[in-house]
Structure 1
Amino acid sequence: MPAARRLTLLALALSSSVFAAQIGTIPPAESLTAQRVAALAAAEREPWAAYLARSDAQRVADRAALAAERKGLETLPPTPAGGHSEGSMPLDKPAAWYASEAALLVARNILSFQTPAGGWGKNQPRDAASRERGQAYVADNNSKRATAGDYDLAHDPQWSYVGTIDNDATITEIRFLARVAAQFPGEAGEPYRQAAQRGLAYLLAAQFPNGGWPQVWPLQGGYHDAITMNDDAFVEVAELMGMVVRGDADLGFVSPALKTGAAAAEAKALQLLLAMQIRVNGKPALWAQQHDALTLAPQSARNYEPPALSSTESARALMYLMSLPHPSPAVVAAVKGGVATLKALAVRDLAWGKVDDAEGRRLVKRPGAGPLWARYYDAVTLKPIFGDRDKSLHDDVNELSLERRNGYNWWGSGPSKALAAYDAWAAKWVKDPS
């Protein structure tokens, strides 16, 4: 029986409650620490030690800047409101809109919330009020469901995600400022150009020596220190670097030094992306949602997010690789292997959705439905796996708690777009598409 057929039958079998079991516990991710860096070989140790020192120094400087602002204030401003951030910074409006008062309100808000390091926090509507003196740089991103021992519990709830690429943060702010600056080529646009370039310098400073990016910088610890593919963060930063090099997306104003840095950053990121692709039976397969910064092994994130391969993030990585104008043989092999794996894992005649209020979302039989992919797969067996908020790991999504079944996209059709794009790409670049 062909391998693709075997994998499809395996995925179908695992969706049945007959095989259901709790198969383990999701471990915490490892932080990037001085102790871990000290254990590296001498040749690798120096750049990582320098990186940690730079992160530590920037964190101290960021905190000192806020403390200086607060000196003499009798009452501290309230923590800024959270909310949907990306929707308040649209990048697809007609060019003239970015000269409007509505766009300038957003741009001024973005300037006011830029951290001393040059990045931005997440989950803040940018069409709200600008930051006040002494106000925190970010909204309260501490999980409202977190309890003692929760992987998502910030050590300091008042200092969490202070500079991040999660949820499109920093990337979107830079691109929005570039669009506004394009409407003000003279002195009036200079603050927006300078802030965008500070944001780019922040991303270059945050890049790991091996080419990856953590979710939060300066480093925050825990899974935030991992190379973050989640929500396409790594790929979107790499794409932004390519835009800078080409002068796309109204980024033609970027300084030559930053363009040189962006070119080097994207090249390193590409090489790391190829190195991170997990091999199964010796062949390139998929990527994890997070990879350890030093070992590149899959890492856990939140309580219910296991160290596993991710179909959604892998599909987005493949789309990025297929967008490269001159793919190397290594890139071609990576795309071919990733697409073959996704094709093999697709399941049909199953649907993921709400059954009723009592049952919530479940995976059910539905002739003609699909294809679907699980969010996570074991990195060795390629079996679908699912996590619950109590850190338990399962092989059947239907046995998760109602809260986690309803609150997470455990199955989806996301990879379909990458598979649809593959045939045209393969006709040009793959000598043997089988």
Structure 2
Amino acid sequence: MARDKATLAAERASGAAPPEAQARLHGDSGMPLKQPAAWYASPEARHVADNIVSFQTPAGGWGKNVNRTGHLRQKGEHYAPIDDDPSGGVVVATKGWNYVGTIDNDATTTELAFLARVVTALPGAAGDLYRKAFDKGVSYLLNAQYPNGGFPQVYPLQGGYHDAITFNDNAFAQVVDLLATVAARQGDFAFVAPELAARAQAAHARAIKVLVASQIRVNGQLTGWCQQHDALTLAPVGARNFEPVSLSTSETSRLLKLLMELPQPTPDIVAAIDAGTAWLKRVAVRDVAWGAKGENGRFLEARPGAGPMWPRMVDIATMKPIFGDRDGTIHTDVNELSKERRDGYGWYGTGPASALAAYEKWKQKR
């Protein structure tokens, strides 16, 4: 972090007023990944790539919630937009230092995937600038990885829950998927140098190892994963006030899919998958529905025959749903939450059903 801060400070040393930080983006980041291959050589795509290169931090990562179709970074401009701080307030990025280099909200992994498509569409000297930024970005992820294989949410380390191994919102899974693609050197990633691919492969192996090691065991039985795990002990840890220590069905589902995609799963990986899917089946809820937003917000409603669906968080001790509010209180009834939190967080969902469906197909191939 010191290097990133020093670089920005040096840019501002001339005395010129720094440009106003970008406002936080709500919506599309402007980095489409499913356009025809030829589009990535277009002026439109190159402008997005130029924006990505210009906002790359000295450490090699990117901030989150940024419109990549916007202006290129100006000298002295902060690398990250205005964003929420850990306490739930707002920090102006030109004064604070928050999420400057992160894997949260698809950041860094999306920039790298977009750059890879542009590099592939621009072989030779035309793509050198983007290739250099790509290599630096992959090295950023490799440098961010803990020795045990985990990844923090923010790097260089920011402190607090950001330093935990972050499964939340699929951050860890997206990094691991990207590393596997880089290591394979196929398709849009065929240009990757063998040395970088080898480093990515080793990092991928470490990540899978820590993933299996951190699966939560309750009364001797493997279950799922928390949204965050301690970087040293691998114990489950909380994050924001409304994200207590718990078992998370959403993150567990994505991590199980990640493990099921491995071509040659070892016995411990097979055991992790079997146990994780069995746990998802046990904590599914039925005969209730997560109502639509109304004047008074969303509520959990009785609805015979409905389901299955899954609570986002499950108490490790009781295996019952739990819910957190902005004030740090923990509830067993989602309807007790403030309207802002009931409406502002995905407390229930059906996503785990896709993991269970994938499991049935995976079993047939074993």
> What is the TM-score with the length of structure 2 in the denominator?
0.96
CA distance in 2: counterparts of 1:249 and 1:295, whole angstroms: 38
Q: Would the aligned equivalents of 2:118 and 2:130 in 1 still touch at CA under 8 Å?
A: yes
Structure 2 Cα separation of the partners of residues 273 and 347 of structure 1: 26
Deviation at 1:155, TM superposition (A): 11
Alpha-carbon separation, structure 1, partners of 2:293 and 2:238: 29
Say whether residues 1:161 and 2:161 are aligned partners: no
Contact 1:278 1:286 in 2 (8 A): yes
> Does 2:253 align with 1:315?
yes
Q: Does 1:99 align with 2:41?
A: yes
Q: In the aligned structure 2, how far is the partner of 1:155 from the partner of 1:102?
A: 30
Are 2:186 and 1:248 equivalent residues in the alignment? yes
Instruction: For 1:396 and 1:333, locate their aligned partners in 2 and report how far apart those are by CA, in whole Å.
Output: 33
Q: Please state whether the residue corresponding to 1:364 is helix, strand or coil.
A: strand
- Out of 171-180 and 83-92, give the one that drifted further: 83-92
- Letter in structure 1 aligned against 2:213: A
Q: Which structure's relative contact order is higher, taking Cα pairs within 8 Å and 6+ residues apart?
A: 1
Q: CA deviation at 1:249?
A: 4.8
Report which of the two structures shows the higher radius of gyration computed on alpha carbons. Answer: 1
- In structure 2, C-alpha distance between the alignment counterparts of 1:401 and 1:64, rounded to whole Å: 42
> Following the alignment from structure 1 to structure 2, what is the Cα–Cα distance between the partners of residues 364 and 186?
59
CA contact (8 A) 1:85 1:122 kept: no
Given that 1:284 and 1:334 are in contact with CA atoms closer than 8 Å, whether structure 2 keeps it comes out as yes
Alignment match of 1:410 (pick from 336, 347, 358) = 347
**Among candidates 150, 162, 166, match of residue 224 of structure 1:** 162
Matched residue, 2:63: 121
Aligned partner letter, 2:45: A
Q: Letter of the aligned partner of 1:220 in structure 2?
A: Q
The residue correspondences of 1:37-116 to structure 2 (distance < 5 A) are 59-84=1-26, 87-116=29-58
Is 1:282 aligned with 2:220?
yes
After TM superposition, the structure 1 = structure 2 runs for residues 136-151 of structure 1, keeping only pairs within 5 Å, are 136-143=78-85, 150=87
1:373 maps to 2:310: yes
Q: How far does residue 92 in structure 1 lie from its aligned partner after superposition? A: 1.0
Distance 1:343 1:184 in 2: 47
Which of 297, 316, 334 aligns to 1:397? It is 334
* Distance of 2:207 and 2:250 partners within structure 1: 19
Give the superposed CA RMSD: 1.6
- Which amino acid is 2:115 matched to? L
What letter matches 1:424 in structure 2? K
Is the partner of 1:351 in helix, strand or coil? strand
Q: What's the CA shift string for 1:190-242, capped at 9, x where partnerless?
A: 11111011000000000001100000000001110000001111111111111
Deviating above 4 A after TM superposition, structure 1's stretches of 4 or more consecutive aligned residues are 151-157
Deviation track 1:307-349 (CA, whole Å, cap 9, x = no partner) reads: 1111000000000001111111111110000000101111112
Shift of 1:159: 1.0
DSSP 3-state at the match of 1:361: coil
Native 8 Å contact 2:83 2:90 kept in 1: no
Given the alignment, which residue of 143, 148, 155 partners 1:210? 148
> Is the Cα contact below 8 Å between 2:215 and 2:225 reproduced in 1?
yes
Cα distance in 2, alignment partners of residues 127 and 154 from structure 1 = 23
Mapped contact 2:82–2:91 kept (Cα < 8 A): no
Deviations 1:28-73 (A, max 9, x none): xxxxxxxxxxxxxxxxxxxxxxxxxxxxxxx111111111111213
Match for residue 117 of structure 2?
Answer: 179
Provide the secondary structure at the position in 1 that maps to 2:22. coil
Gaps of 5+ in 1: 1-58, 430-434
Deviation at 1:281, TM superposition (A): 2.6
1:178–1:249: 8 Å Cα contact kept in structure 2? no
The one-letter code sitting in structure 2 at the alignment partner of 1:94 is: P
Distance 1:167 1:154, change over 3 A: same
Is 1:294–2:232 an aligned residue pair?
yes
CA distance in 2, matches of 1:231, 1:266: 19
8 Å contact from structure 1 (residues 151, 222) kept in 2: no
Change over 3 Å in CA distance of 1:186–1:84 after alignment to 2: farther
Q: Aligned pair 1:269/2:207, yes or no?
A: yes
Q: How far 1:154 sits from its partner (Å)? A: 6.4
Q: Distance in 2 between matches of 1:165 and 1:192?
A: 20
| Aligned pair partner of 2:244 in 302, 306, 328 | 306
Structure 2: stretches of 5+ with no match in the other structure = none
Task: Note the C-alpha offset of 1:383.
Answer: 1.3
Question: Partner residue of 1:3?
Answer: none
Instruction: State whether residues 274 and 334 of structure 1, in contact with CA within 8 Å, keep that contact through their aligned partners in structure 2.
Output: yes
- Secondary structure at the counterpart of residue 83 of structure 2: coil
Per the alignment, do residues 128 and 329 of structure 1 end up closer, same or farther by CA in structure 2, a change over 3 Å counting? same
Give how far 1:304 is off: 0.5
Partners in 2 of 1:204 and 1:154 — Cα distance?
A: 28
Instruction: Please give the alpha-carbon distance, in whole angstroms, between the structure 1 residues aligned to 2:102 and 2:27.
Output: 13
Are the aligned partners of 1:140 and 1:158 in contact in 2 as well (CA < 8 Å)? no
C-alpha displacement of 1:401: 1.0
Kindly tell me: are residues 89 and 155 of structure 1, through their superposed partners in 2, closer, same or farther at Cα, counting changes over 3 Å?
Answer: closer
Q: CA deviation at 1:362?
A: 0.7
> How much has 1:355 moved relative to structure 2?
5.9
The equivalent of 2:281 in structure 1 is 343
